[in-house]
Amino acid sequence: MIPIIIFTILSLDQLTKFLISKNLSIHESVPVIPRVFHLTLVENRGAAFGILKNQTLLFICTAILAVVLILSSLRENRQRRLYSFSLSLILSGALGNLIDRLRFGYVVDFLDFRVWPVFNIADSAITIGAVVLGWSILRNPKSQIPNPK
């Protein structure tokens, strides 16, 4: 199940970024629901909300480290389904944005709700995964703490 989640989200992320990049010019915006939701092509050279602009090497190294740690945790915690699901979402989002940074030196963003910075499918997966991970830990905190060996 985990590989299917990762493959599906990663494919959807990369496909939508490809389609938007091929059909819109940089900063071009197409209203889907006027004044509420637009498709706007943005090259994000920073992190969340565009902070730390042009720190591409830092973001690539951080993403690679996150991917390695998440894969390790997924291997060790296959029985914990909600935990594994949340890490799968985070992993697929991290991989999607890592691919962009390696290919282009920036992340392709396009989902524009006008009251929030422009984002993409990978960002959504990371955010949802983090919320689910937090909820799973709060729901059962004792099971989330590894036993010392």
Which residues are annotated as catalytic?
Answer: 109, 123
**Alpha carbon 12 to chain centroid, angstroms:** 12
Nearest CA to 49 among 149, 123, 99, 103?
A: 123
Cα–Cα distances (Å) from 18 to 14, 28, 69, 81, in that order, read 6, 15, 28, 31
| Tokens read off for 63 | 């993403």
